[in-house]
Amino acid sequence: MERIKYKKSRNIQPNYYEYTGHHKTEPVDMQLFVYDDSGYEEYQHVSIEKIKAECDDPAQHKDVKWLNVHGLHDTARIRALGEMLDLEPFIISDILNVVKRPKLEELDNVLFFSIKSVLPSADGQEERVEQLSFVLKDKLLVSFQEKKSDFFIHIRERIKTHAGIVRKKKNDYLLYLLLESVMENFYITIEFYEDRIDDVMAAAKVSDRREIHEEIQRIRSRFGVLKRSIQPLHDALYLLKSIREEDEFNGIDKSNYAFFARLNQKSLELLEQIEYDMNSLDSAANFYFASQSRRMNEIMKVLTGVSVIFMPLTFIVGVYGMNFDYMPELRHPYGYFTVLAVMFFLVVGMVVFFKKKRWF
């Protein structure tokens, strides 16, 4: 994941609007769903004026409205939408500043929720990280996405086909469905990297290639990204439970808090699964270093055996390399062949001895 680096002198103020992401090619597009138990309407490529008209329409006062915004780089348009919704400036700034930590903000009549979506890339070398923000206000739910994606296609189909209870519930239940859909991406990503953990675990048991250790470290860094994305979500969902206990925010129906508690439990399960997988990576690293040590021991054993075998041969050669005048063996007609035979049988004897001792 490419990180955005700020200069030391740079300080983004709450009322300073700047999109800090990278998705700036596609135009900003907005889609509006208006529905209740009896029917639904879908508006594509809606303008801010159309959104305001739908929100102010007395005939649709009780209808649930879901506005999905694709693209954040048009800061003027996002700012105009935020001002139309009467959002605080710091919330608009947090929507645009996608490198900030996910968070939950509860105001008098607004619930703001931001979350990271993480999916593996096609080559598996990095993650596709996107921030999504949600604003829950009255009968309106606004979702902000950095680019067009298929995260919520199944939810749109459920609204269109009246499947399940989504059209019988308020926008707080819709928020639950959207958060659950984003959370499913974490399961997909974790499952993807768990398959790679199995492969690297099997390879680490039998090989000490450097690429194995590099792959272990690469996967570990990916799980670090996942953990940094899920932990704030878990904290925010826990805070949402605290809001219910303090009874300060009534934008979420009490009957639906059980759904958000379920999401909180899922986030905890994800964190526990990440910890388990990171422990598996530690085991894979231990297997790798054990294989490396075993390989090193095998090499040292061979080198030591060769050194021990050649030590007596070197001694014999050194003795007969001395320049003394009186060495009877030097003038013996079979001295040369005798010494070679002694050296040969000495080597054979040492090899047999080492084999019996199973030293190599």
Domain at 294-357, CATH class: mainly alpha
pLDDT of 244 strictly over 60: no
Percentage of the residues of the chain whose pLDDT score is greater than 70: 91
- 294-357 matches 29-291 in CATH topology: no
Q: What is the pLDDT of residues 251-280, one digit of tens each?
A: 777 778 888 889 989 999 999 999 999 999
Strand segments (E) across 146-225:
none
One-letter identity of residue 82: G
- Spatial distance between the Cα atoms of 122 and 305, rounded to a whole number of angstroms: 50
Stronger pLDDT, 244 or 86, i.e. the higher one:
86
> Alpha-carbon distance 184 to 144, whole Å?
18
pLDDT for 156 beyond 60: yes
Cα separation of 132 and 217, whole Å? 28
Query: What pairs with residue 31 in β-bridges?
Result: 44, 68
Q: What is the pLDDT of residues 15-58, one digit of tens each?
A: 677 888 787 778 888 999 999 888 889 899 999 998 888 888 88
Is the per-residue pLDDT at 356 higher than 90? Answer: no
Class at the top of the CATH hierarchy for domain 29-291: alpha beta
Task: Give the amino acid at 110.
Answer: V
The H or E element containing residue 198 is helix 171-206
Task: Please name which of 299, 269, 240, 277 lies closest in space to residue 106, comparing C-alpha atoms.
Answer: 240
Residue 67 pLDDT > 90:
yes
Q: Give dist(CA 225, CA 51) in Å, integer.
A: 36
Task: Look up residue 218 and give its two tokens.
Answer: 């690469």
pLDDT of 316 > 90? The answer is no
Label residue 104 by pLDDT band (50, 70, 90): confident
- Mean pLDDT for the stretch of residues 163-189: 90
pLDDT at 139 over 90: no
Higher pLDDT, 244 or 182: 182
Quick check: helix, strand or coil at residue 150?
A: coil
Q: Can you give the C-alpha Rg of the chain in angstroms?
A: 35
| The pair of three-digit structure tokens given for residue 145, joined into one six-digit string | 């996405």
Quick one: pLDDT band at residue 7, thresholds 50, 70, 90? very low
- Sequence letter at residue 267: S
Q: How many CB atoms lie within 10 A of CB 134?
A: 21
305 token code pair: 């055996």
Which band of pLDDT confidence, cut at 50, 70 and 90, is reported for residue 4?
very low
- State yes or no: pLDDT of 6 exceeds 50: no
For the chain, domain boundaries: 29-291, 294-357
Confidence of residue 14 (pLDDT cuts 50, 70, 90): low
Number of neighbouring beta carbons within 10 Å of residue 315: 9
How many Cα atoms sit within 13 Å of 84 on the Cβ side?
A: 18
